[in-house]
Amino acid sequence: MSDQATGGMALEGLKVLELGQLIAGPFATRLLGEFGADVIKVEPPGVGDPLRRWRKLQDGTSLWWHVQSRNKRSLTLNLRDPEGQDIVRRLVTECDVVVENFRPGTLESWGLGWGELSALNPRLIMVRVSGYGQTGPYRDKPGFGVVGEAMGGLRYLTGQPGEPSVRVGVSIGDSLSALYAVIGTLLALQERQRSGKGQFIDVALYESVFGMMESLLPEYDATGEIRQPGGSALPGITPSNAYACRGGDYVLIAGNGDSIFKRLMVAIGRDDLAEDSRLTHNDGRTAHAERIDGAIGQWTAEHPREHVLEVLEAARVPVGFPYTAEDIVSDPHYQAREMIQSIQLASGSSLKVPGVLPRLSRTPGRISGGGPELGQHTREVLDELGIDEQTQHKLRERGIL
């Protein structure tokens, strides 16, 4: 991705075992795999990860799969069978990291909990992602991302005032948990260089969301005020909102910096508001938010979106509009920064997928292709473990592979 890329992969040599499915855990291992980690994804024989059949399918496989599972090796293994569990134990002795997102207690019931695995490999780092964490009164409850978003405080704030909350539109609770899982992994790897010891990382979906809630808690503690949904606005930060243009399109304008606000008001012909001393700083503007939003909205309603964007960009006011997938693909900035990548699928067709983040100048990440076929690397992984072909055949016959 960069002409300055001269080093190897940042996580080259790191071996990761993924035990889990769907979103949070697999998203975390996807990120590790994009920077060179050897990710072995364990899937149930015959059916695989349910994500293989989520949302839009092409040739029987989810298009999402080719983003979530790129750069991974697929190993089919029945984790409920003692012989399958033994293979996991053998893998753990050779792995640096295990990532799992089963309900707490599940791996323990299979003899694959932290105590058992860390005894086999004291340098092991184990990332445990769940709805409510490994401890506490709710630990045994099933918890998907939407529940974590609700309990973490996010879903109360999404939507219009007085109306039911709405989804963000993506599985943000799972994705935030995956990011915390990766941060925890990298922290533990750094510490292991010093101590030589592994540790486990406890990531709860609701806490990952709660950690993003900015001043929600201290504001309640200090003032007793419960933050309310603000629709498209950002309550307490003015002006920052969505405004309708002539023709029905919308723009998003963030004029909440003191000097930016003045430039915005001058650009829309409201010098009176630009020079109003009561509106010099954010606290004063917030007290007059309705008046300010009204002035901006009146101006945008008189002009098509293209004109609004042109005028405000010339005035150095942060402005944009809600991008669709079509807008993203055609945008020259996305293209210039190589955020739209194309991969070749096994069928021979080409598929556009998001690029790799974050950007490293010397050891950038990479995409080796789409998601693997179910069990595509089973023989390869077992060969590496020294399990002979005859034993593998018998395991397949019994449905363990």
- The size of the chain, in residues, is 401
109 lies in the same domain as 190: yes
Give me the sign of the Cα torsion angle 377, 380, 386, 388.
positive
Examine the fold and report which residue of 320, 350, 366 is the final residue of a domain before the chain moves on: 320
Comparing CA positions, the residue from 203, 94, 89, 90 lying closest to residue 152 is 203
Same domain, 299 and 362: no
Q: Domain check: are 27 and 165 in the same one?
A: yes
Rounded distance, CA 131 to CA 308, Å? 43
Instruction: Tell me, yes or no, whether 30 and 124 share the same domain.
Output: yes
Question: Taking the CA atoms of the chain, what radius of gyration do you get in angstroms?
Answer: 25
Same domain, 165 and 298: no
Alpha helices in 41-141 (DSSP H): 65-68, 82-92, 106-109, 114-120
Question: Which element (helix H / strand E) includes 99?
Answer: strand 97-100
CATH code assigned at 302: 3.30.1540.10
Say what the pLDDT of residue 8 is: 87
CATH of the domain at 109: 3.40.50.10540
Q: Are residues 78 and 149 in the same domain?
A: yes
Residue 128 within a domain: yes
Flag whether 226 is in a domain. no
Give the max Cα distance, the chain.
85
Domain annotation covers residue 380: yes
Q: Is residue 228 part of a domain?
A: no
Residues 140 and 267 in one domain: no
Q: Is 229 within the bounds of a domain?
A: no
Does a structural domain hold residue 217? Answer: no
**pLDDT number for residue 360:** 96
CA distance 60 to 292: 52
How many folded domains does the chain comprise?
Answer: 2
Beta strands in 267-324 (DSSP E): 319-320
Per-residue pLDDT at 1 = 42
Are 34 and 157 in the same domain? yes
- pLDDT 10s digit of each residue in the chain, 401 long? 444 455 689 999 999 999 999 999 999 999 999 999 999 999 999 999 999 999 999 999 999 999 999 999 999 999 999 999 999 999 999 999 999 999 999 999 999 999 999 999 999 999 999 999 999 999 999 888 889 999 999 999 998 998 988 888 899 999 999 999 999 999 999 999 999 999 999 999 999 999 999 999 999 999 999 999 999 998 899 999 999 999 999 999 999 999 999 999 999 999 999 999 999 999 999 999 999 999 999 999 999 999 999 999 999 999 999 999 999 999 999 999 999 999 999 888 999 999 999 999 999 999 998 999 999 999 999 999 999 999 999 999 999 99
Q: Please indicate, yes or no, if residue 329 is contained in any of the structural domains.
A: no
- Residue partners of 131: CB distance under 8 A and separation at least 6: 103, 138, 141, 142, 143, 144, 147, 148, 204, 205, 206
Same domain, 306 and 347: no
Is residue 381 domain-resident? Answer: yes
Co-location of 25 and 163 in the same domain:
yes
- Which positions ≥6 away from 325 have C-beta within 8 Å? none
Among 320, 349, 368, identify where a domain stops: 320
Check residue 143 and give its pLDDT: 86
Task: Decide which of 291, 320, 349 is a domain's last residue.
Answer: 320
**Same domain? 257 vs 138:** no
Please return the burial class of 231, using the count of CB atoms within 10 Å of its CB with bins 0-12, 13-18 and 19+: middle
For residues 254 and 375, membership in a common domain is answered with no
- How far apart CA 365 and CA 5 sit, in angstroms, is 10
Active-site residue, selected from the candidate residues 38, 49, 96, 174 = 174
pTM for this prediction: 0.93
Centre a 10 Å sphere on the Cβ of residue 282 and count the other Cβ atoms it contains.
16
Domain that holds residue 269: 240-244+250-320
Q: Is 272 a catalytic residue?
A: no
